[in-house]
Amino acid sequence: MSFTSINPANETLIQEIDAWDDERTQHALDHAARTASVWAAETQDTRAGRLRDAAGVLRDRRDKLARLMTTEMGKLISEARAEIDKCALTCDFYAQHAAGFLADEPIDTDAGKSYVAYQPLGVVLAIMPWNFPFWQVFRFAAPALAAGNVCLLKHASNVSLCALAIEDVFQDAGFPDGAFTTLLVDTDRIGGIIEDPRVRAVTLTGSEPAGRSVAGIAGAHLKKTVLELGGSDAFVVLDDADLELTVENAVKSRFQNAGQSCIAAKRFIVTPGIAEDFLEHFREAVLALEPGDPLEESTSLAPMARGDLRDGLHEQVRDALERGATAVTGCAPIDGRGFFYCASILDGVKPDMRAFTEELFGPVATVIRAQNEQDALNIANESPFGLGGSVWTRDADRGERLARRLECGAAFVNGLVKSDPRLPFGGVKHSGYGRELSRHGIREFVNAKSVWIH
C-alpha cells in the first residue's frame, strides 16, 4: 500500500509514499522504547530547551510549512500560517510552564516526608486526523515530550507529507533520535501497535467509531487513553445578542477550515426575538465568502479535504431538505475541479433530520428555532456530543449562567470556541474523555506516584 497526497483545490497528485513493512515498524518501536529511558532521564531544563528550539524551527519554516499544509490538506494559507504560529506558541508555553506543572507536590501525612511525583509513562502513540495536520499533533506532542515521554505518530494517510515535516521539526530542534517518530503504516496495523507492550498509552483525535475501536483495544490491554472525538457545538443566540458581533463570529466559527473542525459552531440555536434578523445578516455574510485557490490571499472559502467527505456531507444536506428544511443559501457541491462545497445555511432543522443529530463536517450551518432561552438550552444539550458550545447575549451574567449549564467540555460567552494552551481541552458524552493542554493535559500521560518516607 502507498499513502497518496492529493491537492484538494485541483485534485492533482502531489506524491505517493510507500507504507512501511513490519521490519521497519518493529525497528521504530524498538528505537522509541530505548529512547524513552534516555529522554525520561533528561532534566526539565533540557526538555524545555529542545521545545524552545522546536518553536524556533517552526517560526523559521512558517511559510514553507504553511504552504505544504495548504497544498496537501486544502486550508486557506492565512489559516495555515496561523496554525504554525499556534504550534510554536504551545511549544514555548510548555517550555516555560512544564517544570511547575510537574513539580513534586508535598502532602502532609504521618510520614517524615511525603509527596506526589509526576513521572513519564514512556512511549505514547498518537493517532491524529487531517483537519489540523500540525496543530492536532503539537497539541499532544509538546506536553508529552515536556513530561519526558516519547511520541509515535500515526497521522491521517492524506497528510503524510505534513507528518514527515513534523518529524523533521523535532529532529532539527535537537530532540534525540526516536523521541518523535512518524509511522507510515496501514490503518489495519494500528491495533497490533496499540497492543504492543512497548507502547504505554494512546491518544486519538478522530471519529466516534475510531475512538470506540481504539479504546476497546487499549482497554483490553489496560492502557491509558485520551480521546478527542466529534463535536456538534451549539451556538446559542439569545434575543439580546449583539447582532454584528454574533454574525461576525458565526461566520468565522462555522466556515473557517471549510467547516472541518470538531469545535466549529454547527448548530445555530436562535430564540424568536432575534431569529429573523440573525438569519438575514448571517445569510448576507455567508454569501460574501469566495471559494477559490486556498493559496491566494483573497480566497475566503477553502475546499474540503477529500471528495468522499464532500459527498457524505451532501447526503446529510439532502436528507434535511427532503424532510422539510429550507436551503437559505448554497446546499450543493460547486462544479469544477477541486472538492469545493457551497457555503451553506439550512433553516428549520428538526429532530427527525440527520443534520439535527449528526455532525456536519463541512461548510454547512444548521439553524434551529427555539421557543425561549430554556428551550434553547434543552436543544443544545439534546445532542449526543459535548465538545464545546457558546452563548451570545449582551448580559454577561445571563450568558455565564447558561454556559455553566451547557453539557460540554468548553463553554464560551460572546466568543467562538477555540483551543488555548492555557486552558484544558476535551469533551464529554460522545465527544470523548480526558484533557489536552494546560496543566491538565500534561498530567494525562504521567504516573502520579506517591512517595512516603519515614
Phi, psi (degrees; rounded to nearest 5) at 149: -85, 165
Going residue by residue through the chain (454 aa), what tens digit of pLDDT does each one get? Answer: 789 999 999 999 999 999 999 999 999 999 999 999 999 999 999 999 999 999 999 999 999 999 999 999 999 999 999 999 999 999 999 999 999 999 999 999 999 999 999 999 999 999 999 999 999 999 999 999 999 999 999 999 999 999 999 999 999 999 999 999 999 999 999 999 999 999 999 999 999 999 999 999 999 999 999 999 999 999 999 999 999 999 999 999 999 999 999 999 999 999 999 999 999 999 999 999 999 999 999 999 999 999 999 999 999 999 999 999 999 999 999 999 999 999 999 999 999 999 999 999 999 999 999 999 999 999 999 999 999 999 999 999 999 999 999 999 999 999 999 999 999 999 999 999 999 999 999 999 999 999 999 9
Residue with cell 464545546: 388
What are the beta bridge partners of residue 199?
A: 123
CATH 3.40.50.150 fits 2-229+431-453, yes or no: no
By CB atoms closer than 10 A (0-12, 13-18, 19+), residue 422 is exposed
Q: Please indicate, yes or no, whether the overall pTM of this predicted structure exceeds 0.85.
A: yes
Question: What is the pLDDT, as a whole number, of residue 374?
Answer: 98
By CB atoms closer than 10 A (0-12, 13-18, 19+), residue 21 is exposed
Question: What is the pLDDT, as a whole number, of residue 1?
Answer: 77
Upper half-sphere CA count for residue 218 (Cβ side, 13 Å): 23
Upper half-sphere CA count for residue 214 (Cβ side, 13 Å): 27
Question: What is the pLDDT, as a whole number, of residue 251?
Answer: 98
The crossing angle, in degrees rounded to 10, of helices 77-101 and 44-60 is: 170
* Active site members: 228, 262
CB contact at 8 A, 435 and 226: yes
The superfamily (CATH) of domain 233-421 is Aldehyde Dehydrogenase; Chain A, domain 2 (3.40.309.10)
- Least Cα distance to 293 among 83, 71, 131, 133 occurs for 71
Delimit the domains of the chain by residue range. 2-229+431-453, 233-421
